[in-house]
A and B are shown apart, each in its own frame.
Chain A
Amino acid sequence: MRKYEKIVIRGAKKYFFRFSSHQRIQHAILFSCVILLALTGFPLRHADEAWAKPLYDIMGGTTVAPTIHRFAGTVLLILFVYHTIYWITLFYKNRVLPLILEDRLDPWTFVKAVFSMEMMPNLKDLRDFIHQWKYLLYFTNTQPQYDRMSWKEKFDYFAPYWGVPILGPAGALLWWRDEVTHILPGIVLNAAYIMHTDEALLAVLFLFFVHWYNVHYAPEKFPAGTVWMTGYLTEDEMIHEHYGEYLQVMKEEGYEAEIKPQH
């Protein structure tokens, strides 16, 4: 695997490594599928609205748009499985294999290994969460010093882990509605319909308002963040969002003298 510099300096500005190209490609496939799914799904959800038919016609109309929707859904599900295999492999290689080699693998060390994963919620997240709300409500004017992944980003990450297992199977049931009714009762399709349509609304609202605020609309990023393309964060973003990691990386890379304050 390619080794990424933790800090890259371009034009006297520091950029901090965040996502490998492998991860960025996964993300690009993910958002392309989600946008296609939303564009071909929401006109159907709101079929009586004035914008629905023109948009649906642009997406291919009643004969093509459903095919695009199913294609994007299938790709998204494959990506979901691929990504799960991806982190399980990484987890095994980086955290479990060393334990096996050192002959220290037991249930306790395994659980500790699980919670040492980057995306795993931990006690620091709870402390940061409380600290963040104290800050937002003016009980303190110091900000939490987030590590590599803040609780917000972990929530963002786990959102598809809640959404895809609901949307995907429900969508598949509706896709193969005729075949399904040989095995399952018809009311399953009623349930699948509600799951698919209501969870889709939650996913889209969350992504286009909350996630896009976090990565695009926030004042230090507006009009658009670039980390999803470059894989690197600016120093300003780093100080705003990952001050804990910032301090650590600056020290490791020998820039201790150039550390800036949090505000």
Chain B
Amino acid sequence: MLLPGLLLCGIPKDTIAAEDELNCLLCHKHRGLSRVEKDGDFRLFYINEELFADSPHSRNECKDCHSDIDRIPHDPSKGVDCTRECHMLEPSGKQKFSHKFMAEELAKSVHGRLKPDGTPKPNQEDYPGCKDCHDEPLFRPLSFYKGEEIAGVSQRGITRCKSCHKTGDFAESFYKHVTSRLHKTRSPKEMIRVCAKCHEDRELNKRHELDDTIHSYKETFHYKLIALGSETTPDCIDCHVVVGENPHLIESKETKTSSVFKKNVPTTCRASECHEKAGANLAGFQTHVTYSREKYPLQFYMLIFFKSLLAVVMYFFLTYVFLELMRRLFPDFSFNRQEWAMAKARRKIHI
């Protein structure tokens, strides 16, 4: 959490990135730069220049995000506010760029900290901020060449741009800007891990009266195929975001515009390349089955039936096999003393 945050303020490489205007790297280039906080957290303040230069924020100056730092050496810095306006002009509207819109969408979603009437929801600390999901590794640029996955920006790709855009680093930064958003750099497995960070937490689920949706999702064919390497079955956001909507706007299943609101589920399932030909009844399929007796009685009793059947059949026959093998060791013995004596006598004759 912290490291990625810090990376944002690091110092970029020579011409590509912004200048180290406050000479931050003088200290932050040292790998061991760290501190143990009063609460016991270990914090690393090292900035990996190379990683930073490859990040989406490589053209920002440190103080663009860490605005509270105005002298060196500085006091402990406050957190970074991602909704700040930054130095860049947004090309389509010629306004200063900001992540504010995303934050607003997030606030409207089920993950927002306020209720629709403006009052704060309980357990404020459980609601995610930008950096809770946007861990830096998720933004690793990847390139693909002849079926190989290569970390970093595709140099072969940039070559095409550079044949016309020859001056400066325009081609490189523009290419990076566009492709990092076009590529689905997050594999479904990574996506599930992001959501599981919070939704797998038992205590959190209890506080918010949520089912263990990660576990129940992992019971579906959707997940099982992903685990076995498929990328064609849906991860969390494929179903929980309305097609074409902003992925920050994940809504509760009780919200009428939500992709998982009862009436909208058929549309969500029938998204292109998913269950296109499915009937509306597909919405009746229960995806997050927890096998609780109250919520999923059919599944609960079916499970009891099949597990009991399995136990009865297997224990019966395994007992049978065990006893049969044991019986071979003592073929003559019988609780019937007469039979036992006869068997022993028979054996003497044979010997």
Residues of A within 8 A of B (CB): 43-45, 47-48, 52-53, 56-57, 61-62, 135-142, 174, 177-187, 189-191, 193-195, 198-199, 201-202, 205-206, 209-210, 213, 219, 263
Residues from chain A with Cβ under 8 Å of B145 in the complex: none
Interface pair B229/A186, CB less than 8 Å apart: no
Residues from chain A with Cβ under 8 Å of B307 in the complex: 198
Nearest-Cβ distance from residue A80 to partner chain B, whole angstroms: 20
Of B1-9, B177-185, B312-320, the stretch lying at the interface with chain A is B312-320
Residues from chain B with Cβ under 8 Å of A142 in the complex: 339
B101 interfacial by beta-carbon distance below 8 Å: no
Nearest-Cβ distance from residue B263 to partner chain A, whole angstroms: 14
Contact of B327 among A136, A186, A198 (CB under 8 A): A136
A53 to B327 alpha-carbon distance, docked (Å): 42
B281 interfacial by beta-carbon distance below 8 Å: yes
Nearest-Cβ distance from residue B265 to partner chain A, whole angstroms: 9
A221 to B321 alpha-carbon distance, docked (Å): 14
B286 interfacial by beta-carbon distance below 8 Å: yes
Interface pair A179/B302, CB less than 8 Å apart: no
Interface pair A209/B317, CB less than 8 Å apart: yes
Contacts A44-B225, A184-B281 known; 20 new A-B pairs at CB < 8 A: A44-B228, A47-B227, A48-B227, A139-B334, A174-B221, A178-B277, A178-B282, A179-B277, A181-B275, A181-B278, A186-B285, A190-B285, A190-B298, A201-B310, A202-B306, A205-B310, A206-B314, A206-B317, A209-B314, A210-B318
Contact of A141 among B224, B324, B331 (CB under 8 A): B331
Interface pair A194/B281, CB less than 8 Å apart: no
Given contacts A177-B278, A178-B278, A194-B302, contact A43 B339 (CB under 8 A): no
Q: Find the B residue at minimum CB distance from A220.
A: B328
The 6 closest A-B pairs by CB, nearest first: A186-B284, A182-B279, A186-B285, A198-B306, A47-B224, A181-B279
B272 interfacial by beta-carbon distance below 8 Å: no
Interface pair A139/B310, CB less than 8 Å apart: no
A/B interface sample: 6 pairs, CB < 8 A: A56-B228, A62-B230, A181-B285, A185-B281, A186-B281, A198-B303
Residues from chain B with Cβ under 8 Å of A190 in the complex: 285-286, 289, 298-299
Interface pair A138/B335, CB less than 8 Å apart: yes
Nearest-Cβ distance from residue A235 to partner chain B, whole angstroms: 18
Interface of B is mostly: helix
Given contacts A136-B324, A138-B335, A191-B302, contact A202 B227 (CB under 8 A): no
Interface pair B327/A135, CB less than 8 Å apart: yes
Interface pair A187/B286, CB less than 8 Å apart: yes
Nearest-Cβ distance from residue B307 to partner chain A, whole angstroms: 7
A14 to B218 alpha-carbon distance, docked (Å): 56
A183 to B281 alpha-carbon distance, docked (Å): 8
Interface pair A194/B310, CB less than 8 Å apart: no
Residues from chain B with Cβ under 8 Å of A137 in the complex: 323
A210 to B223 alpha-carbon distance, docked (Å): 32
B169 interfacial by beta-carbon distance below 8 Å: no
Q: How many residues of B contact A (CB 8 A)?
A: 52
B161 interfacial by beta-carbon distance below 8 Å: no
Interface pair A202/B302, CB less than 8 Å apart: no
Contact of B218 among A48, A61, A180 (CB under 8 A): A48
Contact of B275 among A48, A139, A141, A177 (CB under 8 A): A177
A48 to B226 alpha-carbon distance, docked (Å): 10
Contact of A57 among B229, B283, B321, B336 (CB under 8 A): B229
B174 interfacial by beta-carbon distance below 8 Å: no
Interface pair B227/A52, CB less than 8 Å apart: yes
Residues from chain A with Cβ under 8 Å of B331 in the complex: 141, 263
Interface pair A44/B318, CB less than 8 Å apart: no
Interface pair B343/A141, CB less than 8 Å apart: yes
Residues from chain A with Cβ under 8 Å of B284 in the complex: 181, 185-187
Nearest-Cβ distance from residue A186 to partner chain B, whole angstroms: 3
Interface pair A62/B225, CB less than 8 Å apart: yes
Contact of A202 among B286, B310, B320 (CB under 8 A): B310
B138 interfacial by beta-carbon distance below 8 Å: no
Nearest-Cβ distance from residue B339 to partner chain A, whole angstroms: 5
B340 interfacial by beta-carbon distance below 8 Å: yes
Interface pair A209/B318, CB less than 8 Å apart: yes
Chain B, 139-175, contact with A by CB distance < 8 Å: what is the 0/1 string?
Answer: 0000000000000000000000000000000000000
Residues from chain B with Cβ under 8 Å of A179 in the complex: 277, 279
Residues from chain A with Cβ under 8 Å of B332 in the complex: 141
Residues from chain A with Cβ under 8 Å of B276 in the complex: 178
B210 interfacial by beta-carbon distance below 8 Å: no
Nearest-Cβ distance from residue B175 to partner chain A, whole angstroms: 32
B89 interfacial by beta-carbon distance below 8 Å: no
Interface pair A183/B279, CB less than 8 Å apart: yes
Interface pair A62/B229, CB less than 8 Å apart: yes
Q: Find the A residue at minimum CB distance from B316.
A: A210
Interface pair B279/A136, CB less than 8 Å apart: no
Interface pair A210/B321, CB less than 8 Å apart: yes
Residues from chain B with Cβ under 8 Å of A209 in the complex: 314, 317-318, 321
B280 interfacial by beta-carbon distance below 8 Å: yes
A142 to B335 alpha-carbon distance, docked (Å): 12
Interface pair A199/B306, CB less than 8 Å apart: yes
Residues from chain A with Cβ under 8 Å of B317 in the complex: 206, 209-210
Nearest-Cβ distance from residue B58 to partner chain A, whole angstroms: 36
Q: Find the B residue at minimum CB distance from A140.
A: B334
